[in-house]
Amino acid sequence: MSTPAKVAPASSSVGEGAPALLLAEFNAPSEVLHAAKALREAGYTHFDTHSPFPIHGMDEAMGLGDSKLGLIVFPIGLLGGTLAFTMIHWMNNIDYPIIIGGKPASVASLPSMIPVMFELTVLLSAFATVFGMLHLNKLPRHHHPIFNSDRFASFSNDKFFVSVEATDPKWSAEKTRNLLEAAHAHHIELVYDDEEGGEDLDEAPLGSPSTSPGKVHA
Amino acid sequence: MSSWNLPIKEIGETPLVGDGTTFRSITETVCRVTENKAPRAWWVAFLIAVNFTGIMTLAIGYLFWTGVGVWGNNAPVYWAWDITNFVWWIGIGHAGTLISAVLFLFRQKWRTAINRFAEAMTIFAVICALVFPGIHVGRAWYAYYMLPLPNEMAIWPNFKSPLIWDIFAVSTYFTVSTMFWLVGLIPDLATLRDRATNKYRRMIYGALSLGWRGSNRHWQNYERAYLILAALSTPLVLSVHSVVSFDFATSLLPGWHTTILPPYFVAGAVFSGFAMVMTLMLVTRAVYGMRSLVLMKHLELMNKIILVTGSLVGYAYAMEFFIAWYSGNEYERFLFVENRLQGPMAWAYWIMISCNVLSPQVFWFKKCRTSIPVMFVVSILVNIGMWFERFVIIVTSLYRDFLPSSWGTFRPTLVDIFTYAGTLGLFFTAFLLFIRWIPMIAIAEVKGVLPEADPHFGEGAESHGHRETFHEPIAAEAE
């Protein structure tokens, strides 16, 4: 992929209200991967990359740890199996014991409980996976300042973006822009928050200066 | 052999998509189907399918009004087309899960071209299957007895019965497949949202895509969710058809009481499902011009799977006969030899053998594997053969009971035929709506297997990075 020629990137600003994030546009996965590395090395924490598909190696480049999803799914899956066992045991062995085919109304009939226990383990695990994923990603979320950018719509087509949120402790409209320019972004824009937006971005982590330049006001 | 870092030409691999495919062209090709006006052929097919769905509704209404006597089921053939259709539809669904989950776990990246399609087919096939257990119980308004709900008789379902396992297996399968499909759709619906030019499309696709913004922090959890769902669906899909086969295998009836039934049913399910994917794929690929995304190579690989599973099914048929003879059980032998191989229903058996075992054997030849007319005909034959397989298992095990006084036969009534044809209508109605409104190919996944999706793309000869290609030695390529 060729990087754009050494011209000052085109830039614009979008929206009204407080600046929410700086959005840099790239043409290829390798460029956005390098930009993410550069941001991470410069100490940024509130930044993200946006791509039409997951990019191999991006988690390491951004310094993300492992996904926590498994920790949600595993206990809920166990709960599913336990619930199924308890339900069958209570219904068929305690509340209304039925002896079928000479198989006792007791835990000794465990083999016949396995299919339903298995199915409910899978069912609850699947629910935990889907809703756990949405929970970790804080989705659905139809309102986000990044959508104020018109160019951002091409993230789902063939463009790649880096967004640095104004809540980042290292955020500075000037320095961050310079950093992204050095990473060969071919378009950089400052995206503002909506007036009616409400609490749009996550709070800065503890210990960060509370009056960082681009602090978002509700 | 570690061939991943060699240039494509040297190891004789071909890319997973056609020449000149770019991120943008994938978006265009797939999205324009939902954005342009539907072709006339779509409307014709849709109207026919909706009509058949209407016929099904009438047939089921008549059944509810009058009773199951309107079907051809009789003593001794208590189960007939109802359960045949149920098992057939469930089996067709299995290919979707195999493609989306099992091939995913085996890192078969070529699946990206067909997985959306096949998963949609799974869901619609399971919907059609679920029609039958609900309506075959006679008094359908008591169907809720199948669920462990408190009721006025203060009794609970018998959890030692495979029919109850079936309820749990099939409904779990439907729920999990639907969630898997919807999760896979999120990024692609976002693509449609971002391309939307009118307010309603933006609102509807916007709501459905949950505010997806392609964030890598999201992709990370998303990919993990996809992996977990695939890992859950793989044993699930094996369990579902195994449990369906338990409905038969745990009975004492010769012909049903067979230990080979679970793996045999699973192989048959994958076999029939791939055939159905193939039938539908060939038509849509031609109508919507998806030839750059669904290559001949994909079709050839699917034909190989059809050949393998068809032969597995053939092995199972042979093994049933072997056991009937080897067990020395005269009732088994009577059933298999007198009632299936010969006897008044033998025609069904021979249709099954010629469609399922013989017809896929043409795929040993590359010329047949890569010929569209041949694979279309074979896929239809396999669909017919697999329907007859279930018919043979159910009806030929029942129609001549073990006292000549309880010998009978089975003849479908018009209501049987209308109900079955109607579920085909229901299936195609859902399917046509799907290809009209939802990206029929997984846009994000296909983009991820393009060579330029690799961040090391074009970084010099010694590190060609991780390319997604068909893995195949040069020799096969040169044929």
CATH number of the domain bearing residue A25? 3.30.70
A106 and A23, same structural domain?
no
CA distance B274 to B277: 5
Domain of A30 in residue numbering reads as 11-66+140-192
Residue A214's identity, in one-letter code, is: G
Give me the half-sphere count of Cα atoms (radius 13 Å) on the Cβ side of residue A76.
16
Out of A115-124, A142-151, A189-198, B112-121, pick the least confident. A189-198
Q: Using CB atoms within 10 Å of the CB of residue B277, give its burial: 0 to 12 exposed, 13 to 18 middle, 19+ buried.
A: buried
The angle formed by the CA atoms of residues A47, A48 and A54, to the nearest 5 degrees, is 160
Close Cβ partners of B380 (under 8 Å, ≥ 6 residues apart): B275, B279
Nearest to B442 by CA among B119, B174, B143, B161: B119
Domain B17-449: give its CATH code.
Answer: 1.20.1630.10
> Taking CA atoms, what residue in A is nearest to B181?
A130
Domain assignment present for A2: no
CA distance B152 to chain A (A): 14
Cβ atoms B438, B34 nearer than 8 A? yes
Domain assignment present for A3: no
- The predicted structure's pLDDT at residue A201: 60
- The predicted structure's pLDDT at residue A11: 52
Give me the half-sphere count of Cα atoms (radius 13 Å) on the Cβ side of residue A86.
7
Nearest to A85 by CA among A108, A116, A106: A116
A73 and A129, same structural domain?
yes
Each residue of B171-215: pLDDT tens digit?
A: 999 999 999 999 999 999 999 999 988 889 999 999 999 999 999
From the list A100, A123, A156, the residue facing B187 with the nearest CB is A156
Give me the half-sphere count of Cα atoms (radius 13 Å) on the Cβ side of residue A163.
27
> Taking CA atoms, what residue in B is nearest to A61?
B216
A74 and A62, same structural domain?
no
CA distance B351 to B184: 38
Domain ranges of chain B: 1-16+450-473, 17-449
B161 pLDDT above the threshold of 60? yes
Contact A88 B176 (CB under 8 A): no
Listed residues A115, A136, A157: the one ending a domain = A136
Q: What is the ipTM of this complex?
A: 0.88
Domain assignment present for A26: yes
A124 and A26, same structural domain?
no
For B449, the 3-state DSSP assignment is coil
Domain count, chain A: 2
From the list A64, A122, A132, the residue facing B176 with the nearest CB is A122
Maximum Cα–Cα distance across chain A:
84
Maximum Cα–Cα distance across chain B:
81
From the list A56, A103, A130, the residue facing B225 with the nearest CB is A130
- The predicted structure's pLDDT at residue B124: 95
First to last CA, chain A: 41
- The predicted structure's pLDDT at residue B362: 95
- The predicted structure's pLDDT at residue B459: 62
- A contact test, residue of B158, B216, B223, B224 with most A CBs within 10 A: B216
Each residue of A28-77: pLDDT tens digit?
A: 888 899 999 999 988 888 889 999 999 988 988 888 888 999 999 999 99
Domain assignment present for A204: no
Domain assignment present for A51: yes
CA distance B64 to B55: 14
- The predicted structure's pLDDT at residue A16: 58
Nearest to A17 by CA among A193, A200, A210: A193
The H or E element containing residue A126 is helix A110-136
B4 pLDDT above the threshold of 70? no
- The predicted structure's pLDDT at residue B458: 66
A62 and A147, same structural domain?
yes
Close Cβ partners of B379 (under 8 Å, ≥ 6 residues apart): B275, B276, B278, B279, B282, B306
A1 pLDDT above the threshold of 80? no
Each residue of B295-336: pLDDT tens digit?
A: 888 899 899 999 999 999 999 999 999 999 999 988 888 899
Tokens of A50: 């946006």
- A contact test, residue of B219, B245, B445 with most A CBs within 10 A: B219
Domain assignment present for A4: no
Nearest to B202 by CA among B193, B213, B212, B210: B193
Show residues of chain B in contact with A130, CB under 8 Å.
Answer: 179, 182-183, 225, 229
Contact B229 A136 (CB under 8 A): no
Out of A120-129, A202-211, B131-140, pick the least confident. A202-211
A157 and A126, same structural domain?
no
A119 and A78, same structural domain?
yes
A128 and A73, same structural domain?
yes
Residue B241's identity, in one-letter code, is: H
